Structure 1
Amino acid sequence: MIALSLAEIADITGGRPHDIPDPSVRITGPVVIDSRLVEPGSLFAAFAGEQVDGHDYAERAVAAGAAAVLAARPVGVPAVVVPDVEKALGALARAVVERLGTDVVALTGSAGKTSTKDLIAQVLQTHAPTVWTPGSLNNEIGLPLTALRATEDTRHLVLEMGARGIGHIDYLTGLTPPRIGLVLNVGTAHIGEFGGREQIAQAKGELVEALPAAADGGIAVLNADDPLVRPMSARTKARTVLFGEAEDADVRATGVRMTPGGQPSFTLHTPTGCGEVTLRLYGEHHVSNALAAAAVAHVLGMSTSEIATALSGAGTLSRWRMEVTERADGVTIVNDAYNANPESMRAALRALAAMGGAARADGGRTWAVLGPMAELGDASLAEHDAVGRLAVRLNVSKLVAVGGREASWLQLGAYNEGSWGEESVLVSDAQAAVDLLRSELRPGDVVLVKASRSVGLERVALALLEREGEVAGR
C-alpha cells in the first residue's frame, strides 16, 4: 500500500482518530483483517463476524506492530473509528487506486475466473509490476484488500469479481473502477440464487456497463463463443475486443490439440501476429481462459510472441484447482476440489478423460471422485444426473459419488447411462472414499477429486497424498 498518514485515512474514510497521539504517523505496511498477518506499520481492519469479532484482537494487532486499527468503536489502542468498517475499507481502496493511476483489469464469469486471473497475472507480470487477487478473494472485503496491496510501482491491478446477485458487481466496480473489463462466460453457478441464466448474464454485464467510454480508454473483453456474453457489447460504451475460437474473434485459437498428458496446445492469433502455445495446465477448457488472458495482454501492449511465451510458462497459482500431483507409486491425484458447478465439472471430467489416454497406455485407470454441486436450485437433480451420465460417456473407469442426496443423483445418472456393474459407487463421506481408494488404487491410475467448496472434498486428495511420496506438478 502507498504510505498514508492516519489523518489522511480518517479524512478518506470519514472517520475520527481515537487514542492517536500523532495523526501524522503513516501506514507503511499492508492492510490486514487477521491479526496473525500483521507486519510492522500495518493497518488492522477490525471486522465483527458471526463467530469472531476483530475488535477483540485490536490490542494484539498493535502489539504485533500495527500502527493503528480501522474500527467501528474505540478499542483502547490507536484507531480510526468509522461508522462502517467495510465501507471505509472500500473508500480507502478507491482513494489509493485513484492516486496511483494504475490500469485496473476486472474480470468475472460463471466458471474459470480464478484460473484466468492467475494466467493474466503471470502474463502481465512479465511486462510490468502487477498486483492481483490472491486465491478467490473476490468479494466486498477481498477486493479492496487486494487493491490496497498496490504500490507506486504497480502498473497493472488485476481484480477478480464475484457475484451472488444483481448489483454485486456494480458495487465492486464502484470501489475500484476498471478501465478493462473481461467477461468469461455465463453458466449455471449460483443459478438457484439468481433464478436463471438470463439473470446471471444481467449481473455479469454490470462489469462492462461500468467501463469508461472508448474515447477514454475503456475496453470490454468478451467471449465470442458464449451467446450470452457476446451481446454484452451493446451494454457498454467501451471498445469491444472479442476472444474465442470464432473466426471473427480478435484474439483466437486454431489447431487446438491435446498433448498425451492432457495439456492443450494451439496457435494463438492476435491482430499483431501469431504464436505457438502449449499450456502447462490440464484440460481443453483452459484454451478459452488462455485466450482471455491473451486478449487482455494484447490490449495492454504486449506482443504476440511475448504473450505466447508467457502463457506457455504459466502455471497454477491458486490451490486445489486442477492441482496435479504424481505420487511415488505412479498414482496421479488431480485436486480440483476448491469449487464446482456444472460447467467446471464437465470441463474437469473431460480433462480427466484426456489424461486417461496416457494412463490407459500404462495400464492405469481413471477415477472421478465427485461430490455435490451447491446452489443449483430446481436444476440440481438434472445437473447432477447429467454429470453422472457424462462420466460414463467419457469412459471414466470408476465414478465415486460422495455424500447424500445430490451424490445419489450423480450415481443414478451414471446408472441410467449404462453403468450397471462396479463402474460407479456411492459412499457416505470423504473418509469412506479415502478408504475405498486406498484399497483399490494401483500404479498408473489418475484420480480426479471435485465438489463444491462447502463439501470439503479436498480432504480426499490430501489424505491420498499424505502417506505417499509425491512429485508436484507432474
Structure 2
Amino acid sequence: MIPMTLAEIAHAVSGRLDTVSDDQATVTAPTAFDSRQVEAGGLFAALGGNRVDGHDFASAAIEKGAVAVLGSRPTGTPAVIVDDVVAAMSDLAHAVATRYTGRVLAITGSAGKTSTKDLLTQILARHGSVVATERSFNNEIGFPHTVLRVESDTDFLVLEMGARGRGHISHLAAIARPQIGAVLGIGSAHIGEFGSREAIAVAKRELVEALDATGIAILNADDPLVNAMAEHTRAQVLRFGTNPDGDVRATDIDLDTNARAQFTLRHGNNAAPVTLGVVGEHHLTNALAAAALALSSGVEFATVAEGLNGAELVSGSRMEVTERPDGVTVINDAFNASPESVEAALRSLATIAATVRPTVAVLGEMRELGDTAPALHATIGRQVADLGIGTLITVGGHHAELMATAARDAGSVQVTHVETKGQVLDLLNEGLRGRDVVLIKGANSAGLFETAATLATGH
C-alpha cells in the first residue's frame, strides 16, 4: 500500500481513532480482511458476516503486525472506527488511488475477465511491476482490496470490474479512475438479474463512459453490442478481434490437438506468430484483449507477442488441464458457468476428442438465467450431442435434468443425472480409463471445482 498515517486514514474514511497512541503511525502494507493474511505494517478490515465477525479477530491481527483495525466498533486495539467498514475500504482505496501515479487498466465483460487479466499480467510483467486483481476479487470488497495493494513504484494496476446491476461499474470506476478500459463481450451471465443482453451492455458500458478524453476504450470488434459502445465514450477507441476492422486482430487461426489457439497477431504493420498455452479457442478473444490493453499501455509489439506465446492462466479452475499418470486428462473449468462459456468449453473438449479420445462432460447447473434458464439448459444438452461428446453427467436439480433429457433425446450420448456433486466421483472412478478426457464445469455455487481438483489427483 502507498504509505499513509493513521491520521490520514481516519480523515480519508471520515472515521475516528480509538486506542491509538500515535496518530502518525504509518500503514505501509496491504489491507487484509482475513486475519490470517495480515502482513506486518498492514491494516485489518474487520468485516461483519453471517457466521463470523472480523472484530473477534482484531487482537490476532494486531499480534500478526497490523498497525490498526478498520472497524465499526472498538475492540480494545488500535483502531479507526467508521460506520460502514465496506464503504470505508472504498473511501480509503480512493485516497490511495489519487496518490498513485502509475497506469490504471480496467477490464469488464460477461466472461473472460480473469483469464484476460492473467494473460495481460504476464505481458506487463515483462515491461514493469504489476498489481492485479487476485482470483476474481472484482466486487465492492475485492476491488478496493486490490487497489490497496498498490505501491508508489507500481507501474501498472490491473483491475477487474464485475457488475450485478446498473451503477456498479460506475461506483468502482469512481474509486480508481482507469485510463484504459476494455469490454470483452456481452453474454447471458446474470441475464436473470438484468433481463436482457442489451441491459447487460448498458451496465458494462459504464466503464467506457467513465474514461475521459485522454483515455483509451478497448472494444471487441466481433461483438456488436460492445462495438457500439464507441458512441458512448469520450476516449480514443481501439478495437480488437478477428474482424478485419480490428486494430489488434488475429489471422491464420488454428487449433492444435489440445485445443490451444495458434494465430498471427497483427497491429498496424506488425505481425508475429503466437501459440497460447491455455486450452480453448475462446481464449483467443481474451488474448487479443490483453494484447490491445498492453499495447495501449506503451508495451512494444514484440514484447506483447513474446508475452502471449505460451501464456497460461494462473487463476485456478479455468480450463485448468491435468494429465494424470494413468493417462486420464482432467479439464477443470468449474469456477463458473454461463451458456457461452459452457459451449466454448464443450467445443474445446470436442477438438481434443478429434484425436479419437473418449470424452466425458460433467456439467452442473448454470445460475442467474431467470426465465431463460430452461431453454438455455436444454440447448446445452443438445450441443453435447451435436458435438459428439461420448458421456454426459449432469449435476443438480430440475435444470440439470432438462440438460440430460435434451442430450439423451438428441443423440447417442451416454447420459447420467445425479443430484449432488458427491455422487460424481464414484461414477467417474468406476468408469474412467486411460486416455479419457473429462471436462468439469458448472456454476461456482455448485462447488464442482472441488470435485475436479480431487479427480485430478486420481484419488
Considering the TM-score relative to the shorter chain, is it more than 0.5?
yes
CA deviation after TM superposition for structure 1 residue 41, in Å: 1.2
Q: TM-score, normalised by structure 1?
A: 0.95
Partner of 1:23: 23
Partner of 2:369: 376
Alignment match of 2:441 (pick from 425, 443, 450): 450
Give the AA of the match of 2:169.
Answer: I
* Percent of residue pairs identical: 50
Distance (whole Å) between structure 2 residues aligned to residue 412 and residue 188 of structure 1? 22
Alignment match of 2:237 (pick from 224, 237, 240): 240
Partner of 2:338: 341
Q: TM-score, normalised by structure 2?
A: 0.98
Distance (whole Å) between structure 2 residues aligned to residue 326 and residue 196 of structure 1? 39
Distance (whole Å) between structure 2 residues aligned to residue 206 and residue 307 of structure 1? 27
CA deviation after TM superposition for structure 1 residue 12, in Å: 1.2
Distance (whole Å) between structure 2 residues aligned to residue 303 and residue 14 of structure 1? 43
Alignment of 1:134-173 (within 5 A): 134-173=134-173
Distance (whole Å) between structure 2 residues aligned to residue 339 and residue 385 of structure 1? 18
Instruction: After the TM superposition, list the runs of 4 or more consecutive aligned residues in structure 1 that deviate by more than 6 angstroms.
Output: none
Partner of 1:423: 414
Structure 1 position 224 matched with structure 2 position 221: yes
CA deviation after TM superposition for structure 1 residue 457, in Å: 1.1
Q: Deviations over 1:125-176 (max 9, x none)?
A: 1111111000000001101110111111211110000000111111110111
Superposed CA RMSD in Å reads 1.1
Moved more, 184-193 or 406-415: 406-415
Tell me the SS of whatever aligns to 2:330.
strand
Partner of 1:460: 451
2:324·2:458 contact (CA, 8 Å) conserved in 1? Answer: no
Tell me the SS of whatever aligns to 2:164.
coil
Tell me the SS of whatever aligns to 1:368.
strand
Alignment of 1:151-300 (within 5 A): 151-213=151-213, 217-300=214-297
1:209·1:237 contact (CA, 8 Å) conserved in 2? Answer: yes
Partner of 1:471: none
Partner of 1:398: 391
Unaligned stretches of 5+ residues in structure 1? 469-474
CA deviation after TM superposition for structure 1 residue 431, in Å: 2.3
Partner of 1:365: 358
Q: Deviations over 1:214-237 (max 9, x none)?
A: xxx210000000011000000000
Structure 1 position 62 matched with structure 2 position 62: yes
Tell me the SS of whatever aligns to 2:262.
strand
Alignment match of 2:321 (pick from 313, 316, 324): 324
Unaligned stretches of 5+ residues in structure 2? none
Partner of 2:423: 432
CA deviation after TM superposition for structure 1 residue 272, in Å: 4.6
Partner of 1:472: none
Distance (whole Å) between structure 2 residues aligned to residue 459 and residue 315 of structure 1? 21
Q: How many residues align?
A: 459
1:399·1:424 contact (CA, 8 Å) conserved in 2? Answer: yes
CA deviation after TM superposition for structure 1 residue 57, in Å: 1.2
Tell me the SS of whatever aligns to 1:279.
strand
Partner of 2:348: 351
CA deviation after TM superposition for structure 1 residue 462, in Å: 2.2
Give the AA of the match of 1:313.
Answer: G
Distance (whole Å) between structure 2 residues aligned to residue 50 and residue 5 of structure 1? 32
Partner of 1:307: 304
1:67·1:78 contact (CA, 8 Å) conserved in 2? Answer: yes
Partner of 2:5: 5
Q: Deviations over 1:257-295 (max 9, x none)?
A: 001121110000012511110000001001111000010
Distance (whole Å) between structure 1 residues aligned to residue 223 and residue 457 of structure 2? 40
CA deviation after TM superposition for structure 1 residue 402, in Å: 1.3
1:120·1:293 contact (CA, 8 Å) conserved in 2? Answer: yes
Distance (whole Å) between structure 2 residues aligned to residue 83 and residue 431 of structure 1? 42
Q: Deviations over 1:317-367 (max 9, x none)?
A: 101111100100000000111100001101110111112223x1xxx3011
2:185·2:220 contact (CA, 8 Å) conserved in 1? Answer: yes
Distance (whole Å) between structure 2 residues aligned to residue 461 and residue 181 of structure 1? 33
2:254·2:262 contact (CA, 8 Å) conserved in 1? Answer: yes
Q: Deviations over 1:27-85 (max 9, x none)?
A: 12221001111121110011112222111111121122111001112111100111221
